Amino acid sequence: MWPGQLKMLNAKLESLEYGFFQSPLTQIFDPLLEQKQLELWIKRDDLIHPVISGNKWRKLKYILDHALTQGAECIVSMGGAYSNHLHALAFAGQQLNLKTIGYIRGERPKKFSPTLTDLELWGMELRFISRTDFRELRQYKRYDSLPGLQKAQYWLPEGGATELALKGVADIIDEIELDYDVLCAPCGTGTTLAGLISAKQGRVKILGFSALKGGGFLNQDVNSLLNRQIANWQISLDYHFGGFAKSNNELLLFMQQFLTRHAITLDPVYTGKMIYGLFDLIQKDTFKPRQRIIAIHTGGLQGRRA
């Protein structure tokens, strides 16, 4: 990379950022909330960009910046056939003239999902690998740690789970001007939750909702991302609806009703499960009257196309 190129890429990164704006905080009015004397607000990160929405920009922003300063010309990452993370990365790569490579779990399907179609359209090189090889890749955490990585290639672990992602997620906190008691986010890798915990340092209760069945390991993963003990957070494991990307009519009906009542679209993989879980916990008197709860809408609506 010649010196002027880095400057140019940084300018492009900045211009990409101009497409984003501070997401609104929307109050939810609902008879249950009134009955339990609770306030619920949703931080609408789903609205921050037409493609790189939700937690994706938050997680990628400082990573892309770091990759560029390392002289990266190609970002290599991993995800499933519906991955929101790869979707955002491929688009960002295309915008920044960075090559992208995605290791995809499982065999190359005969018919591509809308997500895979977009990835190809944006120039991501797709490498389909077995589930065992995919699991193997999870052990590589540092940007330069993937064996066989070539010069100017930058490794990004699944879901963008790095310390720099935590820093980007912490920017959400700076945008919230209200005082609040509880902050909620859905969990896949736990990176978003770890970013919120690290920004709040135990000052409010942080509640994660696992999108995966048997997500107990997330506690350990969040702790290792945090790199130190921080109190006052918890991950609810009860609202996975059978497992990652699984759903049932009850969840879909809840999401449909939520859209009708509040004009907010949720996705069935992450945010639908979180909001369902939150309403269930509210119903079960988990929160004290007069508490104010904020839930982060982490986007992911592209995945609904499947």
User: Which stretch in 3-11, 63-71, 227-235, 292-300 sits in contact with ligand PLP by CB under 6 A?
Assistant: 292-300
Q: How far is CA 119 from CA 57, 91, 107, 148, 240, in A?
A: 17, 8, 16, 23, 27
Comparison of 45 and 65: residue with beta carbon closer to ligand PLP = 45
x/- string (CB under 6 A) for ligand PLP, residues 123-162? ------------------------------------x---
Q: What whole-number distance in Å separates Cα of residue 51 and Cα of residue 119? A: 12
Residue 61 interacts with ligand PLP (CB under 6 A): yes or no: no
Give the number of residues written for the chain: 306
Distances (CA, A) of 233 to 29, 58, 124, 182: 26, 20, 37, 10
Q: Which is nearer to ligand PLP, 122 or 209 (CB)?
A: 209
Q: How far is CA 261 from the centre of its chain?
A: 25
Q: Is 188 in the site for ligand PLP (CB under 6 A)?
A: yes
CA–CA separation, 201 and 300 (whole Å): 27
Distance of closest approach, residue 226 Cβ to ligand PLP, in angstroms: 13
Among 270, 281, 293, 294, binds ligand PLP (CB under 6 A): 270
Whole-number minimum distance, CB 215 to ligand PLP, in Å?
10
Q: What are the φ and ψ backbone dihedral angles of 290, each rounded to 5 degrees?
A: 70, 10
Interacting residue with ligand PLP among 28, 45, 49, 55 (CB under 6 A): 55
Q: Please, what is the minimum distance in Å from the beta carbon of residue 99 to ligand PLP? A: 22
- Per CB under 6 A, does 298 bind ligand PLP? yes
CB distance 205 to 182 below 8 Å: yes
189 lies in the site for ligand PLP, by CB under 6 A: yes
- For the CB of residue 139, give the shortest distance to ligand PLP in the complex, in Å: 17
Task: Please report, in angstroms and rounded to a whole number, the separation of the first and last CA atoms in the chain.
Answer: 39
What Cα–Cα distance (Å) separates residue 19 from each residue in 14, 57, 192?
9, 11, 21
Interaction mask 76-95, ligand PLP, x per CB under 6 A: --------xx----------
Q: State yes or no: residue 190 binds ligand PLP (CB under 6 A).
A: yes
CB burial of residue 130 (10 Å; 0-12, 13-18, 19+): exposed
Which single residue is written with the structure tokens 């790869």? 86
Comparing every residue's Cβ against ligand PLP, the nearest one is: 300
Instruction: Assess 192 for contact with ligand PLP (CB under 6 A).
Output: yes
Binding site for ligand PLP (CB under 6 A): 54-55, 84-85, 159, 186-193, 270, 298-300
